Structure 1
Amino acid sequence: MAEFSTPTTEQEFAENFAQLKPLMNRTEALFESSRCLFCFDAPCIKACPSGIDIPQFIRQINSGNDTGAARTIYEANYFGNACGKVCPTEVLCEGACVYNLQEVKPIEIGRLQSYATTKVIASGKKLFGPGAANGKSVAVIGAGPAGISAACELRALGYEVDVFEAKAQPSGLTVYGVAPYKITNEETLAEMDYLQAQFGYHTHFNSPINSREELIELENKYDAIFLGIGLGKTNALGLPGEDKINCTGAVEFIAELRQQHHKIVVGRKVIVLGGGNTAMDAASESARLGAERVLLAYRRGKEEMGAYEFEYDLAKGVGVSGVFNVAPLEIVGDDYVAGVRFIRTETIDGRVSEIAGSEFVEPCDMVIKATGQAKQTQFLSLIPGLEVDGKGRIVANAHTGQTTNPKYFASGDAWNGGAEVVNAAAEAKLTARGIHAYLSK
């Protein structure tokens, strides 16, 4: 029996995908901010990749200075509103809160962060603006967290900035790849509109850059080029039957879900292959779409999963079941998925080995592959002198983001291999300053 009924309207979809971190009201924000101890060594700041002065903005909320709190947040992280909702605060800032040592609930830092930034977005107050024009320009490829963050910082430093985005909307995975129960499309796009109005960079949507000729045009027109291209499609497993109808990649599934909502049709029994955070999202989303049974299948043991524990708990909480130490061998069925043939595994000295004679077929009518995303090495090969490492990640200076082709700089998933929104935002700000240092010589 499904935990959730299949949503058929936008209202039913919103109910099934109710926000995990709902927006606080003023009373809640005052109460929660009053709990902060304002630690002198602030372990929450150290745990935040973007280094937001968390005690400072909480103190500002508590004193009624919500606008000042938003400024404190945005000065450190241009995706301040989104990160308040989509960051794994449970293992970052809130995970570092000293209250955990006393077995007391940590401060809800993420919700306080979203509270302050939502208020300033709704007000449209001008907190930032472009710096004095310096006569130089930068092209940004990709309007995800890295690209938009770089664009904001570069505008603040006085550069003309053009952002080229292949899709129809900005913010990358924040609007195309994050589970709807973490942040809504409206919230994501409201922050993007706010940043656009603050800094005045130019965004060109539906404008993919995918040929050497287009890159040459950018190289001739701009003083530097920022690569915020992220990652590509879901990795293929190379399994027989992988091309069957109703076998899809998790990235593609979530992207379609974010845009189509209740119009998405999910299988009655869904098998999700993988053990990372994306697998947990895809499994939880399938359950919330009304699947009668969702099975999470991972080739290693439960304790070896890459997903955060709270993400797995969230999936279990909506009825997802886990089966471990099983490796897929084949997607079975005729034209449509009918099941997955597995073989049982064991981990010996860190290596997965298959157990002979342990094969079995688990029936299902949908398979979602959450097996990581491909690196965009084909596109990167169009840039002369640009090196990638053995895992397909862009090789760049850790302090400046400059690649082995000095005109190109990079941040985000294409550089770090895949991390959180907050990591991309923090890296891009650092890289924007690296571009500034390079062009100021």
Structure 2
Amino acid sequence: MDPRPDIAANRLSPECLAIRFADAHPPLTGGQAAIEADRCYFCYDAPCVEACPTGIDIPGFIRGIATGNLAGAARTILESNILGGSCARVCPTEILCEGACVRTAQEEKPVVIGALQRHATDWQMDEGTQPFPRAAETGRRIAIVGAGPAGLACAHRLALHGHTVTILDARPRPGGLNEYGIAAYKLPDDFAQHEIDFITAIGGITIQTDRMLGRDITLAELETTYDAVFLAIGQAGVRALGIAGEERDGVLNAVDFIAGLRASSTGADVPVGRRVVVIGGGNTAIDAAVQARRLGAEEVTLVYRRGAETMSATKVEQAWAQTNGVAIRYWAAPLRIDGPDGAVGSITFTRGRLLDGRPVHDQDTFTLEADMVLKAVGQLFLPDPLDRGAIAIENGRIRVDAHGRTTRRLVYAGGDCTPGADLTVVAVREGRDAAEAIHADLTTATGA
């Protein structure tokens, strides 16, 4: 065995870490943005708009950039997606708006819509002004549980209509996945908090942290105190591998590993192994693997139970991992974790294949040496904080209608705790649309 510590912090100097965790994709300059905006065809029934879950008028905002109207461009984005700044950075644009760009049909590079969106929203945030006036105070109060993208989008739209909003979040800092679950190089420089400051500048929004539903307050109490409740509680549970050795020291949930790094000011105090194995096939797995490598791990291997084409992480994300020195192995399922004295020393996998359209893992085995294993095999919605039987749960998520209404009157839900794709931009849409439903229902109920 190597005498050096298997898992240790400070593998790299603070100066090196600052470079490795700086903005992975620097912003466009004004000149670059103008040139890129001129590549847009400004399509009439633009497929990029159809592909955007929040329905941003993409040709409209790009025309604003092309004509030097950044204020108009930013407003066009933000009136559909108030978290347009973070979505510009973290959205899988390659399979959404940019994937639908008509230039791809001509085998050309698509317009870099995400970078242009960032250019406009960054300009607005740097201006420090809120582009939307708040309506007159209605006297109605809404509680939002969860300060992630869905909760923040809901809060802003409700405040826009003149309602008073209180957001309760279980963590010490608001932001949800943008604060705790996204790779540090995607949202550097405390961007999540800057965006929250921008959103709450509209007025009428109060955020209370360290307030957990089920521990500090109940749903019934919220219903008594507020006119409506929006649940944006995400998925607090993490799936287990269900294999021998999973309890060993050095086996961590990837989301906890990422959160620890996000909470660190430099990353230097975050322990990482020399040989790290990440299990999973989504963006969380990619983020964990790349960040482990950038923290100084000598070998990082991402192992996925099926083929590359079924990974939820996009081809761009997979290529990004490989560019950063992460080895990806497909068609392998974890079998057991071994090691000395309760620690991780190796992990054994069973090779798989496709049989009659279904994956089976009945081939030979192979073993990878490892001192750290990061589990990224999915998260789970935990209904425990909700009053038992108060709200219908279906297929492991809160059941809602098309407007975010749950089975309980004036209780709504959106984001990762409800059915649908677990994407930031989808959460924003659901929060925004639920706010419109809340506003309509409250207005109808009082005859206002």
Residue 285 in 1 paired to residue 291 in 2? yes
Q: Give the 3-state SS of the residue equivalent to 1:362 in structure 2.
A: strand
1:331-370 correspondence to structure 2 within 5 Å: 331-333=337-339, 334-355=341-362, 358-370=364-376
Residues in 2 aligned to 1:94 and 1:215: alpha-carbon distance in whole angstroms: 41
Contact 1:249 1:370 in 2 (8 A): yes
Is residue 2:124 matched to residue 1:120?
A: yes
- Does the alignment pair 1:423 with 2:430? no
1:283–1:273 Cα change, 3 Å = same
Corresponding position: 1:103 with 2:110: no
2:216 aligned with 1:209, yes or no?
no
Name the aligned partner's letter for residue 312 of structure 1: Q
1:312 correspondence with 2:318 = yes
Q: TM-score, normalised by structure 2?
A: 0.93
1:389 aligns with 2:401: no
Q: Quote the Cα distance in structure 2 between the aligned partners of 1:101 and 1:174.
A: 33
One-letter identity of the residue aligned with 2:393: V
Closer/same/farther in 2, CA of residues 212 and 282 from structure 1, 3 Å limit: closer
Aligned equivalent of 2:40: 36
Moved over 6 A (4+): none
Aligned to 1:414: 417
Describe the SS at the equivalent of 2:229. Answer: strand
Q: Give secondary structure in 1 for the equivalent of 2:82.
A: coil
In the alignment, is residue 266 of structure 1 matched against residue 272 of structure 2?
yes
Distance, in Å, in 1 between the alignment partners of 2:428 and 2:203 is: 16
Q: 3-state DSSP class of the match of 1:22?
A: coil
Listed as ranges, the gaps of 5+ residues in structure 1 are: none
For residue 202 of structure 1, report the CA deviation from its aligned partner: 0.5
The residue type equivalent to 2:165 in the other structure is V
Is 1:247 paired with 2:251?
Answer: yes
Q: Is the 8 A contact 1:231 1:414 kept in 2?
A: yes
Q: CA-to-partner distance for each residue in 1:234-277, whole Å, 9 max, x for gaps?
A: 21122221111111011111111111123212111111111122
2:383 counterpart of 1:403 = no
Question: Contact 2:399–2:419 (CA<8 Å) still a contact in 1?
Answer: no
Q: How far is the alpha carbon of 1:36 from its aligned partner? A: 1.4
Which residue does the alignment assign to 1:231?
A: 235
Change in CA separation of 1:166 and 1:150 when aligned onto 2, cut-off 3 Å? same
Contact 2:351/2:361, CA 8 A, preserved across alignment: yes
Question: 2: CA distance between counterparts of 1:329 and 1:430?
Answer: 44
Cα displacement string for residues 275-332 of structure 1 (whole angstroms, at most 9, x for unaligned residues): 1221112111111111111111112223332221111111111111122222112111
Change (3 A) 1:157 1:117: same
Q: String of CA shifts for 1:356-398, please: whole Å, max 9, x gaps.
A: 6x23322111100011012112223x254301112x1110111
> Does the 8 Å CA contact 1:8/1:263 hold for their aligned counterparts?
no
In the alignment, is the contact (CA less than 8 A) between 2:211 and 2:217 conserved in 1?
Answer: no
Contact 1:396 1:402 in 2 (8 A): yes
Aligned to 2:397, the other structure's residue is in SS state coil
Q: Is the CA contact (8 Å cut-off) linking 1:140 and 1:151 kept in structure 2?
A: yes
What code does the residue aligned with 2:353 have?
E
User: C-alpha offsets along residues 205-226 of structure 1, whole Å, 9 cap, x if unaligned?
Assistant: 1111224963222111101100
Question: Aligned equivalents of 1:229 and 1:96: distance in 2?
Answer: 31
Q: CA deviation at 1:17?
A: 2.6
1:433 corresponds to which residue? 436
CA distance in 2, matches of 1:193, 1:118: 13
Looking at structure 1, the residues matched to 26 and 310 of structure 2 have their Cα atoms a distance apart, in angstroms, of 31
Letter in 2 for 1:355: D
Q: CA RMSD in A?
A: 1.7
Q: Helix, strand or coil: the match of 1:262?
A: coil
- Partner Cα distance (2:83, 2:217) in 1: 32
In the alignment, the residues of structure 2 paired with residue 99 and residue 405 of structure 1 have an alpha-carbon distance, to the nearest angstrom, of: 46
Q: Following the alignment from structure 2 to structure 1, what is the Cα–Cα distance between the partners of residues 189 and 145?
A: 22
Which sections of structure 2, spanning at least 5 residues, go unmatched?
1-9
**How far did residue 417 of structure 1 move?**
5.2
CA contact (8 A) 2:398 2:418 kept: yes
1:269–1:365: 8 Å Cα contact kept in structure 2?
yes
Quick one: which amino acid aligns to residue 436 of structure 1?
H
Find the residue that maps to 2:211 and give its secondary structure: coil
Q: What letter matches 2:336 in structure 1?
A: E
Cα distance in 1 for residues equivalent to 2:252 and 2:316: 25
What is the number of equivalent residue pairs in this alignment?
432
Q: Which residue of 1 aligns with 2:185?
A: 181
- The equivalent residue for 1:376 is 382
More divergent stretch after superposition (297-306 vs 359-368): 297-306
DSSP 3-state at the match of 2:392: coil
Give me the whole-angstrom Cα distance separating, in 1, the residues matched to 2:392 and 2:428.
23
- State the identity as a percent: 42
Amino acid at match of 1:344: R
Partner of 2:308: 302
Q: Is the 8 A contact 1:212 1:383 kept in 2?
A: no
Structure 1 letter corresponding to 2:104: N
Q: Equivalent residue for 1:141?
A: 145
Offset from partner CA, 1:150-203 (integer Å, 9 cap, x none) = 000111112111000111222210111111222214222111111111233000
Find out whether 1:194 has 2:198 as its counterpart.
yes
User: What letter is aligned with 1:268?
Assistant: R
In structure 2, what is the equivalent of residue 63 of structure 1?
Answer: 67
SS of equivalent to 1:296: strand
Partner of 2:57: 53
- Deviation per residue, 1:413-441 (Å, 9 max, x gap): 00025511100001111111111122122
Given that 2:231 and 2:413 are in contact with CA atoms closer than 8 Å, whether structure 1 keeps it comes out as yes
* CA shift in 2, pair 1:405/1:212, >3 Å: farther
**1:211, 1:407 → 2: CA distance?**
22
Q: Give the TM-score, by structure 1 length.
A: 0.94
Equivalents in 1 of 2:188, 2:375: separation in Å?
Answer: 24
Measured in 1, the distance between the counterparts of 2:421 and 2:125 equals 28
